[in-house]
């Protein structure tokens, strides 16, 4: 058994031997120690902190719910009390009678006296009466405010909002609801302001930072006054769930934290929700476990030292043969393939050397038979392309062409043939623009100017049979595209789509600006094509080996877009027989 095992080990590849020693001596202890220290200590500390935090939040939630329910009950008593109806609908002969009536309605003062969770109570009345600390006349400006209109729209239902107190201007968490008399006529809007000191008393516990938030929009309580009534940015990282209690991870103020969020639905408030959140700083909690991690590092270093010693003893046995293999690999890497055919030994090192020798001979053969031939072939193709380009460039002398066209235009003017003169002028402009194009991006407006000139020539050719329109959605004045991407598509639409059509031809060019790309649509109502022809064109779009030197067509436009902008961009074609063809071009935004 031992001999069989020893033979199996010796037959293993060297990489397997090294990996086995590493796993046995180094990796396994490091993995176990690291996993134990990290998972055990982190889980213990975090679970204790989370348990304590959840308990505190549950207590705060219960007390806050009790306080809000008490304020809601007070609003119900005021809402149902008919004394306020008599007070506000009574007839008074003088100012003294009004103040006397106010003094005989001590309900608000009694609530402020016996309920310390209430900061103040104010009633914005619609009747034009004298204003005091509790009863305030709601003039047109007040009635136009959003909170007042919202309370009227809810017709007596309770709303919780952030509102400034009328006299001091200080903001509070406020209960608002519209109040009506026995004949359902509006008396005014009741405001009950929640005392900040009471919320501080509820949330001021020996724990992490506690935040009380209204409708996930504004902080109504925080230990930091600078954060009051601001948007709680950390709440945006919460997961989408309907659970009342949520615990999630977040990166807040430069450190990793855990956020515990409890939701509270105030009684009779159908559209409001209170959130109670606590931020648990993970890094601060891990200061004590880090001390334990340091002790674990000593164990890891010891294991590493043992593994290094084991590797040293193991590798030293094969040092001579490995060094020989290394020197041979160095010679091959420097292009010297005349190494000796073999070394002593038939294990993995010997096999590796044999493979290296065979590889060196194969490389030498490839250099002699393939690489040199490929270089010559590539050079021949490059020279051929350069010759074709020079031949193409020399076919037209631009100055000769411009001068000839100008001479023809002047003769047409002399002969009073204005239509021919305009046609020659547009042709000259188009030819000059096309021949002066380079392989660099040009302004999109210049490219469209070339297209418009071409279309005007076609309109003069076809007369009333051709109509076109250009629609631009967005500001594309600063964008650039590679030249001759749009005009070939327009030309293709006219020649293959509209020219064979019987009746009026329509051509629509639409340029749409999106957030990350431009979309250019060239659509005609021509003869279209059947599905077989459309599939054939789609298959041959990306056929780089198919080249037609006589024309610049859709394939050329597609390949240039792919070459310049990448595989993410290009064009798509859709068509129906006797209904027309639409080509959609997608380009990146280049300013």
Q: State in words which class domain 463-588 has.
A: alpha beta
Share of the chain above pLDDT 90, in %: 7
pLDDT band at residue 463 using 50, 70 and 90 as cut-offs: confident
Q: Angle formed by the axes of helices 28-35 and 287-317, to 10°? A: 180
Bridge partners of 121? Answer: 192
Residue 99 CA to residue 561 CA, distance in Å, equals 83
CB 175 within 8 A of CB 156: no
Residue 498 CA to residue 210 CA, distance in Å, equals 71
SS3 readout for 466-522:
EEEEEEEECCCCCCEECCCCCHHHHHHHHHHHHCCCCCCEEEEEEEEECCCEEEEEE
In this structure, of 40-54, 125-139, 427-441, 471-485, the range with the lowest mean pLDDT score is 427-441
Instruction: Dihedral sign for Cα 488, 490, 491, 492, please.
Output: positive
Whether the pLDDT of residue 491 is over 80: the answer is yes
Which pair of tokens denotes residue 251? 């990166």
pTM for the full predicted model? 0.47
CB 348 within 8 A of CB 14: yes
pLDDT (average), residues 490-502? 87
The domain defined by 11-310 carries CATH number 3.60.150.10? no
Q: Closest Cα partner for 519 from 464, 460, 583? A: 583
Which residues are within 8 A (CB) of 401 and not within 5 positions of it... i.e. 6 or more apart?
A: 431, 435
pLDDT of residue 306: 83
Domain ranges of the chain: 11-310, 321-359, 463-588
Angle subtended at Cα 258 by Cα 253 and Cα 262, rounded to the nearest 5 degrees = 115
Average pLDDT, the chain: 78
Instruction: Dihedral sign for Cα 74, 77, 78, 84, please.
Output: negative
**Strands 171-180, 159-164: pairing kind:** antiparallel
pLDDT (average), residues 580-589? 91
pLDDT of residue 581: 93
pLDDT band at residue 574 using 50, 70 and 90 as cut-offs: very high
Q: Could you give the 3-state DSSP secondary structure of residue 189? A: strand
pLDDT (average), residues 179-198? 87
Residue in the block written with tokens 């729209």 = 153
Which residues are within 8 A (CB) of 4 and not within 5 positions of it... i.e. 6 or more apart?
A: none
pLDDT of residue 432: 64
Residue 339 CA to residue 357 CA, distance in Å, equals 7
pLDDT of residue 395: 47
pLDDT digits (tens, 9 = 90+) for 511-527: 998 888 889 999 999 89
- Scanning 287-417, the segments in alpha helix (DSSP H) are 287-317, 319-333, 348-366, 372-393, 398-414
Residue 430 CA to residue 302 CA, distance in Å, equals 80
Tell me the residue ranges of DSSP E strands in 206-244: 210-214, 218-221
Which pair of tokens denotes residue 396? 């037209």
pLDDT of residue 584: 93
Q: Closest Cα partner for 154 from 272, 67, 273? A: 272
């Amino acid at each position: 058994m031992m001999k069989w095992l020893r033979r199996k080990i010796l037959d293993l590849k060297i990489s397997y031997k090294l990996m086995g020693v590493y796993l046995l001596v180094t990796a396994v202890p490091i993995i176990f120690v690291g996993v134990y220290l990290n998972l055990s200590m982190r889980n213990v500390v975090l679970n204790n902190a989370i348990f304590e935090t959840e308990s505190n939040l549950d207590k705060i939630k219960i007390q806050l719910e009790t306080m809000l329910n008490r304020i809601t009950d007070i609003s119900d008593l005021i809402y149902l009390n008919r004394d306020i109806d008599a007070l506000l609908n009574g007839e008074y002969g003088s100012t003294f009678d009004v103040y006397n009536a106010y003094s005989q309605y001590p309900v608000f003062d009694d609530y402020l006296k016996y309920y310390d969770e209430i900061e103040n109570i104010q009633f914005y009345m619609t009747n034009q009466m004298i204003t005091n600390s509790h009863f305030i006349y709601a003039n047109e400006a007040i009635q136009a405010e959003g909170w007042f209109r919202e309370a009227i729209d809810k017709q007596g239902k309770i709303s919780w909002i952030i509102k400034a107190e009328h006299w001091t201007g200080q903001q509070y968490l406020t209960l608002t609801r519209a109040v009506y008399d026995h004949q359902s006529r509006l008396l005014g809007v009741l405001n009950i302001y929640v005392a900040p000191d009471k919320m501080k008393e509820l949330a001021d516990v020996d724990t992490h930072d506690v935040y009380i938030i209204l409708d996930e929009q504004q902080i109504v309580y925080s230990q930091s006054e600078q954060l009051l009534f601001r948007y709680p940015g950390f709440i945006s990282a919460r997961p989408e769930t309907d659970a009342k209690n949520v615990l999630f991870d977040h990166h807040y103020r430069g450190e990793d934290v855990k956020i515990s969020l409890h939701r509270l639905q105030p009684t009779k408030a159908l559209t409001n929700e209170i959130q109670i959140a606590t931020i648990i700083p993970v890094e601060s909690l891990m200061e004590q476990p880090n001390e334990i991690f340091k002790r674990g590092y000593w164990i890891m270093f010891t294991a590493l030292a043992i593994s290094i010693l084991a590797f040293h003893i193991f590798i030293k046995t094969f040092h001579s043969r490995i060094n020989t293999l290394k020197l041979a690999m160095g010679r091959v890497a420097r292009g010297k393939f005349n190494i000796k055919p073999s070394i002593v030994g038939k294990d993995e090192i010997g096999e590796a050397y044999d493979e290296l020798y065979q590889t060196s001979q194969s490389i030498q053969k490839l250099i002699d038979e393939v690489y040199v031939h490929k270089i010559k072939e590539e050079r021949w193709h490059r020279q051929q392309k350069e010759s074709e380009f020079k031949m193409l460039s020399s076919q037209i002398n631009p100055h000769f062409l411009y001068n000839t066209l100008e001479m023809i235009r002047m003769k047409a003017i002399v002969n009073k043939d204005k239509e021919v003169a305009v046609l020659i002028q547009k042709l000259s402009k188009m030819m000059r623009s096309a021949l002066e194009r380079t392989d660099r991006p040009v302004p999109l407006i210049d490219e469209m100017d070339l297209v418009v000139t071409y279309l005007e020539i076609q309109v003069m050719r076809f007369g009333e049979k051709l109509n076109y329109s250009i629609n631009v959605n967005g500001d594309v004045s600063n964008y650039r595209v590679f030249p001759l991407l749009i005009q070939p598509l327009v030309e293709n639409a006219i020649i293959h789509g509209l020219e064979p059509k019987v009746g009026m031809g329509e051509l629509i060019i639409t340029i749409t600006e999106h957030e990350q790309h431009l979309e250019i649509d060239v659509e005609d109502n021509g003869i279209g094509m059947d599905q077989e022809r459309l599939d054939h064109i789609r298959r041959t779009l990306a056929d780089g080996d198919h080249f037609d030197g006589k024309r610049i067509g859709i394939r050329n436009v597609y390949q240039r877009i792919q070459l310049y902008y990448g595989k993410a961009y290009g064009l798509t074609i859709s068509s129906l027989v006797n209904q027309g063809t639409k080509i959609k071009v997608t380009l990146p935004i280049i300013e």
